Each structure stands twice: as structure tokens, then as C-alpha cells.
Structure 1
């Protein structure tokens, strides 16, 4: 019986030891988890503090210390690079920012789908002419034109043809050129043609 009592005590002690070790392991995991949480919170506070200091320095409400000036310049460079990439991404996606709430919306939107503000779409005529410095453009909307195009396919405006050769040539050549082009639209005429195929004007 004494043997059984000793065995029972040993089993009980082993069980209590296992429970204690399990509790210690659980406590260790819990403490480590809490510690990581505190470290993450500290990083967030440091980030907010740095952001606040950066904003104060860039708004000139706070003079930056020499040690921080280099980092502020680096942040500005990174922000400029990020803005260039965001602009490229907006062009690919075809989006703009609402001037009222700064929400990202389609560039063809007439109203913001977030705040309801009316979107003023800027004219693209200046942009088109800047991108295509050479060649003919529509005088009405600025869209590019083909050489033999009679009407603008963008706005429907009639294309006025200016016979440059007639202005630069001498008087005899002017008379000859005027006889070979339509007096109404300037389209080249074939010999013996009675009507202009471009505008239908009778040729005398």
C-alpha cells in the first residue's frame, strides 16, 4: 500500500508540474503577444510624431533642426516621385480628383458620385495642340485634321482650305492654280470637271 501511495503522489506531482509548465508557457506567449502589441503602438506613435513634425516644418511653423533637414528633403523627393506615379496611374485609369472632396472619379464625370459637386471638365484644345505642334487642327475645337479632310469629325465644323501655293506663287501661277481648284472649298479639280466632288459647287 505504501508503494501505491508513493506512486500516486509522484503522479500527482508530475501532473502539477506539467500544469505549471503549461501555465508558464501560456503566460509567456501572452506576455510576448502583449509586448509586440506595445511595440507596434510605439511605432505608430513615432510615425504620428514624425508626421506632425514634418508638417510643422513644411508649413514653416517650426524650424527644422539640422539633423532632420536631410530627412525632410528625402521625404519631399519621395513624395514628388509618388505623385508622378499617381498621375501616370490616373491617366491609365482615366480618373481625376473631385475639386470639392478630393475623391477619385472618372475623368468624364459631370458630377462627383461621392459629394455630388459639379465637375468642370477643362477644354482639351490646348493640350491637343501642345501634343501635336505640326499638322492641321480644327479652328473650332483643336482636334487634329487629315490633309484632305473637309469636315472635323470631332465637332462637325467645315474645314477651310487655304491654298498656300497660290499665295506664294507669282500672278500667272495664281491664275493657273485658281482654275484647277474649287473656288468654294479649294479641292483640286480635274480638267473638264463641271461640279466639285467635295462640296458640289458648279464649276464655270
Structure 2
């Protein structure tokens, strides 16, 4: 159905293309809407592109809005791109949230950056969680860093990365504890890395 929609769009039959995309959505796939949005954007029909991307987002494909934002960024239109990112972020798209965090950080907005990364972490983005932990360590917010460590509980990879952030910040004891937790969940790399300078023996 998606391929048929693309064929009709390429032939200039937009009405048929949208009807086929709607049928694809009914069958559980919003990809036709995503592709149509990209084709409309490339053709210069921005209003239609945004409308289709919005429909795709409502059906679980906020990546359409993110893709449009990237196209606008490449076209040198940061304000339009940011507006689209904001829309995608409202659907919980973590890539949009982290990109907005990049923009806030570049603008010197520490609180805005923190808030956006926390939202991304809350939606399961482990890279955002680790990045946020690093920021909090650097600003001396130990309580905030501890909260993120608790949020990562059970995720061996994240715990190991957080352990190394704590080590880099000079908090050896906290780093060892996180490394032990990571090892208990199957990732011993942090313990090995910490043991390069000082031997750390896991308890129990």
C-alpha cells in the first residue's frame, strides 16, 4: 500500500496518494504518510508536508516531524526546524528532545537543557540519562546525579557508564558502588577500568 501511494504521488495524483496512505494507516502502518510528507516537502509544498507529518505523528510516527525539521535545518531555517522539533517532542520523540537540548545548550540555557534531557531520559533514552548525569556532576549537583543513578538501576550498561562519570569527577567510592551494581547485572567493564589504578574487589 505504501509503494502504491508513492507511485500515485510521483504521478502527480495527490488525492489518490493520500487515500492509499490512509488505507495503509488503517492497516497499522503510518510509513506512507511519512514518505508522502517528505515528498511534499521536497516538492516545496510545505503546508501539505507539515499536515501529513502531523497525521503521521498522531499515528505513532513522530519521526516524520523530526525528518522535516532536519530538512529545514539543512535549508538554513533554524526557527522553522525548532518549531517542528517542538511538535515532535510533544509526542515523546527522544531524538527531537535531545536535539532541542543541543539547541538550548548552545544558547547557554542550562535549565532548558537539563529539562529536555530529563524528559528524554524519562522516555527511555539512556544516552540522554548518561549525558545529564555528566552535566550534573560537572555542576556539583550530586543529589541530581544520584537520582539518575537510581533511575538507571538494573541497566548494566548505563550503570557502567555512570560509574566512569563518577570516577572522572573524582568520586571514587560512588564510582565503585555503581561499578559493582553494573557487575551484578552482567557488565564487569567498569570494575576492570577502575581496577587499572586501584584494585577494586567486588563484595559478596
TM-score over 0.5 (shorter chain): no
Q: Which has the higher helix share?
A: 2
Q: Which of the two has higher C-alpha Rg?
A: 1
TM-score (norm 1): 0.23
Q: Higher relative contact order by CA 8 Å / sep ≥ 6: 1 or 2?
A: 2
